[in-house]
Amino acid sequence: MICKEFEISGGGKLTAYVQDSQIYYQVYKKKPAMIICPGGAYMIHATRESEPAAVEFMAKGFQCFVLYYSVGTDREHPEKGINYGAKYPVQVLQIMEAMHLIHEHAEEWQVDTENIFVTGFSAGAHVCASLGTRWNDPELTEKLSFVPEPEELKPAGMVLAYPMLCLNDDAFIAQYPESAMAEQTSTVYEILFHDRTPSDSQKESVNLLRYVSEETVPAFIWNCIDDPVVDCRNAMRFVENCLEKGVACEYHLFDHGGHGLAGNNVLTVMDRSEIDPAVSQWTDLAMAWIRGRKNERS
């Protein structure tokens, strides 16, 4: 297996986990690819949504790539303060560059370029969904340092776990007065907009519900009713918009589980008792959906 890091413009990093594609002596089989974007509120990268997710999808036959897109703080050195280079949409340009890099190395890495998927958690899902809804948006593609080939930036589908698809409204934030959500929200605003009190138009610029179109890529989405960080109703609205535009979509809403569960498996919990049999099935559900997508494209 090749494990290699690549620098991505704007301070990002892509870690490639490329498995040997030889299945018999001198017989090679190209594998689908999965770009993984960990969450962390655009402030950090959640560790258990990074490499463990790559291990999970490698076991399911993917060449995996973890994108450490630009975030606003350094968890190892908080004294550095806010990283103002993490202003949105730099993260979307970074995942576009990751797509381009995988296409460039597709033969070397034995990647099936017709089946490059993206999966993201929380804020990482916002990065993935930004690509999935805006992969051909000139407002973004004209900022790239390269000229992409037609549909090179279009993933085969996106798997979104407890996704941030737009900013929470004030009513949702007010439900959790004892949490640190209000202060965290202000910090996220400062990272994304360089303004702790952004205008409505600034907030709308990260609202992906309004970017859903006939060109949006198929989506698999899941979250939990009791999520105290991301309002699950925004995912429902996103799904409604997908249905209106004829975009293939599968949605799962679990009745409990909260936020930040990652794979909810032995790779990501302190004790097996933390594994919820209902929620932990999401990877199997996602794989069934992905296989269906691959069948449709073949």
Answer yes or no: is pLDDT of 96 > 80. yes
d(CA 43, CA 184): 9
Look at 180 and 145; give whichever has higher pLDDT. Answer: 145
d(CA 40, CA 118): 17
What is the residue whose two structure tokens read 């105290």? 228
What is the residue whose two structure tokens read 């996106």? 158
Q: What is the pLDDT of residue 84?
A: 92
Q: Are 201 and 232 in contact (CB under 8 A)?
A: no
**Token representation of residue 284:** 């199997």
Domain boundaries, the chain: 2-297
pLDDT in tens, 244-278: 999 999 999 999 999 989 888 888 888 888 888 88
In CATH terms, the fold of domain 2-297 is: Rossmann fold (3.40.50)
Strand intervals (E) in the chain: 2-8, 12-18, 22-24, 27-28, 31-37, 63-68, 111-121, 157-161, 219-224, 249-254
